[in-house]
Every structure is written in C-alpha cells, then in structure tokens.
Structure 1
Amino acid sequence: MSTENIFELMALVKSAKGDPSAVVDVVWEAGYRQPPRTEQEAAQITIDTFFYCESFDMPTDFWPKSYDSVLQNELMKAVLTEDEDDSWCKADPAKVAKSILAAGFSKEAI
C-alpha cells in the first residue's frame, strides 16, 4: 500500500462528506479499479449482485444497469465497512481508504 495512494484516497473520502454514494462516485471518477476479472469471475460477480438485489426485494430501478455498475457495487462494499462498534460506515477517511485498498482497488490510468 503506497502512502501516496492512501493519502489521495483519504482526501477523496473526506471530500464526499460522509456520503457513501458520493465516496463511490469520487473514487470511481478518480480511476480506482480492481484488477480485471476473467469471464467466469465477471459472470459470477454479476449473478451474485443480482441475487443480492433480488433477495432484499430491491426495486429493479435500483439494480445495476451495466457491468460498470456491478463493479461500482464492489466498491460500495469496500466503502461500507463496519467499524469495531458495529456501526455502519462512519466514513472515517483513513479506515475507508484502507478498506478500499484492501479490497484490491488501485488507481489506473484513465
């Protein structure tokens, strides 16, 4: 984990002012991605995402509309980490940045 990446991510998370969706948007726009997946892995992650949406009775309007949306869902999972006291995403910039990097996200050339 490079200190340059952690500080950049912390600044991005802080700029989103505690809104997990905004964190995903700014981190995605900054070019952070997980390594490419095989076709089988891509299919499985898409199936898992749709199963998740279905199992929680999410209206289809909120389901991913593209593979990029599925990948952004993976980023949301990294953003919505649970803290030690089981609270939901306090958006501590350092913890969220570390979680994003631990989930395999890194900055790609865009």
Structure 2
Amino acid sequence: MADALSATFAALADPTRRAILARLTHGAATVNELAEPFSMTLPSVSRHLKVLEAAGLVVKERSAQFRPCRLEVAPLEAADDWMGQYRVFFGDRLDRLDAQLKTMMAAKAATDGKPETGEEE
C-alpha cells in the first residue's frame, strides 16, 4: 500500500475483517476464538488477520504457547481524523437541507390554511 490510510481502508473493506475487529473491541483473542463465528478454515481466518496486521490494526502478542491478537486503535483514529473533515461538510449540508424542508413545509401549510405540524394526515 502507498500509505497507512490506504492500507487501513483496504483492510476495512472486507466484512469478515470488520467483524474480527469488532470482536477485538471486547479484548484480546486467539485465532481459534476469532474463527469460531465464521464458517471458514483457520488458514482463511489467518489470512484475514495478516491483512489486518499489515495495516497495523491488529497486533499479535506472545503469551506462553498462545499468540493472542489485540486491536491497535491508532490506524482507526487516523482514519477517523481524515473523515472528520467530511463529517463537517455533510453536517453543514444536512443542516441546510433541514432548514429548506422546514421552510417548504411552512409555505405549504400557509397555502393550505392549516397550521404546520410536520406530519401529514
């Protein structure tokens, strides 16, 4: 991947990987534990984990004979920061749309001679 943000979004593009990350929000888990809800082989789950590791979203730790995986939030925070600028953009647009709809509803209520309720009968 060209950059960390691209790697993060590429890793998040797959629903199985998103489900694995969701599970890891509850704490570290082994590959076997992560594989339980899926109808796929352990090697398939391991391949998903490798993508998540390469993106920096998952870290494998060593604990005796176990290698639990844990969530690394820094790449998600970076993606959230990047998306923040678009949240502001869309929030402003939605606020303007809301104001326009209220104006249109008030105008319709005035021409119908009915008070504005926001609901149709």
TM-score of the superposed pair, with normalisation by structure 2: 0.26
Which of 1 and 2 has higher RCO (CA within 8 Å, sep 6+)?
1
TM-score (norm 1): 0.27
Q: Decide which structure has the larger Cα Rg and report it.
A: 2
